[in-house]
Every structure is written in structure tokens, then in C-alpha cells.
Amino acid sequence: MRILILLAALTLAPLTTTQAQFYRRLFGDTTDNISPARFKAIYKYYPGQMGEYRFAYEKPLNNATSLEFDLGYVYNNYVRERFNVDNFGYELRPTMGVAARVSYRRYPKAVTRRRRTLNGIYRGPLLLYKYNRFNYDSYGYDTEGRNVVDERLRLRQHVVGLQYMMGRQINLARTFSFALQWGVGARVKFANMVQSSSEDRSWLLDRTPGATVFETPTSAIKVTPTAHLNFSVGYIVRNPKKRKGFFGLGGKVEDKKKRGKK
């Protein structure tokens, strides 16, 4: 979590040449001769993200590489239903949680050709952290016929994932962006059960999909492969054009100097 916070701070802060070189070397990219980025940032939203409101901020490192930092609010998640075996035993249930992602993107064609900033096919790794809270209450009747809580269960999940993503981003009129992305990865899930009334402890942990690596009566560690398909829409913030002279007036300073020498 500290690593995500550090990367978020570095991403949102103004990017220096030294930081850009550090990020490229970190991911094995030594193309230092690429032209500077023409965009300041791209603000995005992922409408196709299931069970989550996901917002993103893509910051160019240069004309062909970028960092994207995502934040999301999780409101639905797939869990195993105890009494319903439809949909392979899983269904969407209300949850509450947060998600954070950091990804590095490289646009290969921008290296060999003069393409527009952050436009075209891209690829790169993505790091995910997600926290989920799932509450389950089962109601019954007491001896006087009143509706009371018969069983109260709480499940907490910490999810860490690593993905390799590819996609195609299109810049529309240098103002809007549309991107389609796909990829594969794996996730490690740390599930912890908080239980106030029930002797059946195992079924709630079964609500966490994946292969069990470690398990106790109240917690479990599970691993699962993942496949991804999503799209995003965004708004492009362009770098302001730099004008030379007094308050941008008076034309180019270099031309005036040349005229003075003549």
C-alpha cells in the first residue's frame, strides 16, 4: 500500500526529466531520444468496469511512454451464494471497497514513427490493490414471532494483482480519447472473516473464489488467474503553447536578434 501511495504522489506531482528517466529505466525502456509529450494529462473514466466506479489519470513521460494511476470505488463483487447454485455458484452481491491501480504504458509505434502523443497500440504491466467489505445478515424469528438477526457474518478481503495489459488508444481531435484494452494476470486474495454468531465458519470463506494456498478457521489466502477486457473514455489536457517575447507578444526573440545583427 505504501508503494502505491508513493507512486501516486510521484505521478500527480510535476514530472522532471530525472523522474522520467527513472521510470523508463525501471521498466527497461532506454529510449531517451523520444520527443517530449504534447499532452499534459488525460483524465479517464472506465464505464465497463464491473461493480466499480473507476477513474484514471494518465501522465505522459514522453511522446511514447506514460504512467496511469487509477482510483475506484467498489460497490459490487462476485461471491459464492450459499443456497443458489446458478451462475456457477457465484453471483453479484453488494460490497463496499476501494481499488487502486498503477500501470506503465509504452506505445511502440511512437518510437519508430512520428505519431501523436499516447496514440495507437500500447502495452505494459499493471499493479492492482483492492479492499472489499462483505456483510451478510440472516434473519429469523424469536419465540415471540419477532424478526431478529439470526446470523451475522463479516468478510474482509485484501487483493493484490499483477497484470500485463495491451490496448489501442485513439485521440479524437486532440481533445478526447477512447481506448480498448485487454490482458491477463493473476491475483492473490487475503480473506479474513469476522463472525459474531454461527458455528459454520467454512462456507463464508468459500465465498472467495480461487485456489486455496493457506487456510485457517477464520482466514484464507487464495490465488486465481484473471482475464481482462475493458474500455475507457477520457479528456485530454494539452500543454499550453510557449510564446516568446513580452507576455507572448512581439514574435520570436531569436528572429529579432538576427535582424539586429544585420
Q: Which of 103-107, 148-152, 236-240 has the lowest mean pLDDT?
A: 148-152
Is the distance from CB of 169 to CB of 175 less than 8 angstroms?
no
Could you report the per-residue pLDDT of 47-69, keeping only the tens digit for each? 988 889 999 999 988 778 899 99
State the pTM of this model. 0.68
Give the span between the Cα atoms of 255 and 258, in whole angstroms: 5
Cα gap 100→179, rounded to integer Å: 19
Question: CB of 209 within 8 A of CB of 144?
Answer: no
Distance set, CA 137 to CA 44, 195, 261 (Å): 37, 11, 85
Residue 28, C-alpha cell as written in the block = 527497461
* Percent of all residues in the chain with a pLDDT value above 70, rounded to a whole number: 55
C-alpha span between 256 and 248 (Å, rounded)? 14
Which grid cell is 238?
Answer: 494539452
Predicted confidence (pLDDT) per residue in 122-154, tens digit: 999 999 999 988 776 655 555 555 555 556 677
Distance CA 75, CA 64 (A): 35
Domain ranges in the chain? 2-261
Q: Which residues contact 42 (CB under 8 A, 6 or more apart)?
A: 57, 58, 118, 177, 234, 235, 236, 237
